[in-house]
Amino acid sequence: MKNTDIFSITHKASRRSFLQSAGTMALGASFLPWLAESSQAENLLQDNKPLGIALVGLGYYSAHQLAPALQQTKFCKLTGIVTGTPSKATEWEKKYTIPKKNIYDYKTIDRIADNKDIDIVYIVLPNSMHAEYTIRALQAGKHVICEKPMAVSVKECQQMIDAAKKANRQLSIGYRLHYTPHHQEVMKYGREKTFGKVKIVETSDGFKIGDPNQWRLKKALAGGGAMMDIGIYALQGSRYTVGEEPVSVWAQEFKTDSVKFKEVDETILWQLKFPGGAVANSSCSYAAGLERLFATCEDGWFEMGPCYGYGAIKGRTSKGDMNLPQLNHQAAQMDDFAQCILTNKPTRTPGEEGLKDMRVIEAIYRSIETGKVVPLS
């Protein structure tokens, strides 16, 4: 997660009126199924209140992205919090008018099972805590959104998926970019071969990380460094641009500060090969600013940049600019998940999607250790 400025259109007007304007015209027929689902969910809301969301962990992302976004959502709202810091509980209670009965700590979180005000639990904790608290929330009978990366191992990812199935609840991973018009358009380019078959993809994401004592630089909490935090955006971008799952990976790691990055990776470069012949060259770094997705195809090209941060996304193609609407990523993501629950449809970013990324990430680390190409099939 990166500390970039929020750029969003207002959601005070109804989503329906927004989508009936320039956004719908720009996206065309590819966005019409979403309109139908939105309309269905709106009809259900006429007799039901918006779904309640409890945020677990009140760090930067919850405070500066998710909570503000939940003031713009239509199908869900902030109704509860889980925190181990009493002062934060008091602050959030006053700021968002949260009833005391909807405030929990990490010891009492299981009692959330008896709270009808909370339908969805959003896990926003350090990576190594994702599996435990996702499973506990599912066992409490709640639907769950787990922030990326899904977990710190393939084994944990599978345990989370199994827990969701056993509880008969939906598990969604916080891949907010899947809910933005620009990234959806790129997925369509690859799927429909708009510019011909994708040949080479270049994806990169990075920023200069600050505080050397933060949890992201501690392996026990983060599971890894730049790769786990922001490299996952570049990895996701290459996968959904090509529209296939990679068959092999080769990777290298580089460090310029062996003290600050003693426990985790600073910079990683990797190459993915896909079954259809496409190749992706990617990088991530905690030492430099990077933010790009580029694909060259048989009959043209397309690119985005900036494309992974919380702000405006810009895209271009060999045929011209991608003139698509901007929106609040987190609000779109959470509203979409709420609609899935209301209409009994699967989320577009389920636990299985997070598991796919973790399989590749584990292979990337194995390639770094061995110096060899690691097969993924």
Confidence of residue 315 (pLDDT cuts 50, 70, 90): very high
Assigned fold of 181-325+351-375: Dihydrodipicolinate Reductase; domain 2 (3.30.360)
pLDDT at residue 255, as a whole number? 97
Q: Tens of pLDDT along 355-375?
A: 999 999 999 999 999 999 999
**d(C-alpha 375, C-alpha 115), whole Å:** 46
| Rg, Å, the chain Cα set | 20
What is the helix (H) or strand (E) element at residue 272, kind and residue range?
A: strand 267-273
What are the catalytic residues?
Answer: 148, 233
9 has pLDDT over 80: no
Torsional class of 249: left (φ above 0), alpha (ψ -120 to 50), beta (otherwise)? beta
Check whether 17 has a pLDDT greater than 60. Answer: no
Q: What is the mean pLDDT of residues 271-294?
A: 98
Q: How confident is the model at residue 32 (pLDDT cuts 50, 70, 90)?
A: very low
148's CB contacts (< 8 A; 6+ apart) are 173, 174, 175, 232, 354, 357
Position 169 pLDDT exceeds 60: yes
| DSSP per residue, 327-350 | --HHHHHHHHHHHHHHHT---SSB
CATH top class, domain 27-175:
alpha beta
CA–CA separation, 276 and 221 (whole Å): 37
Beta-carbon neighbour count of residue 11 at 10 Å? 18
Amino acid letter, residue 210: G
Model confidence at 41: pLDDT above 90:
no
Buried b (16+ CB within 10 A) or exposed e, 128-163: bbbbbbbbbbbebbbbbbbbbbbbbebebbbbbbeb
What is residue 21's predicted lDDT score, i.e. its pLDDT? 34
- pLDDT recorded at residue 19: 33
For the segment 121-125, the average pLDDT, to the nearest whole number, is 98
pLDDT at 44: 65
Average pLDDT, the chain: 91
User: What's residue 37's pLDDT?
Assistant: 57
Can you give the residue ranges of every domain in the chain? 27-175, 181-325+351-375
Please report the pLDDT score of residue 110 as a whole number. 98
- Is residue 198's pLDDT more than 60? yes
What percent of the chain has a predicted confidence (pLDDT) above 90? 87
Mean pLDDT of 277-299: 98
How far apart CA 273 and CA 251 sit, in angstroms, is 12
pLDDT digits (tens, 9 = 90+) for 317-362: 999 999 999 999 999 999 999 999 999 999 999 999 999 999 999 9
Structure confidence at residue 230 (pLDDT): 98
| pLDDT value of position 157 | 98
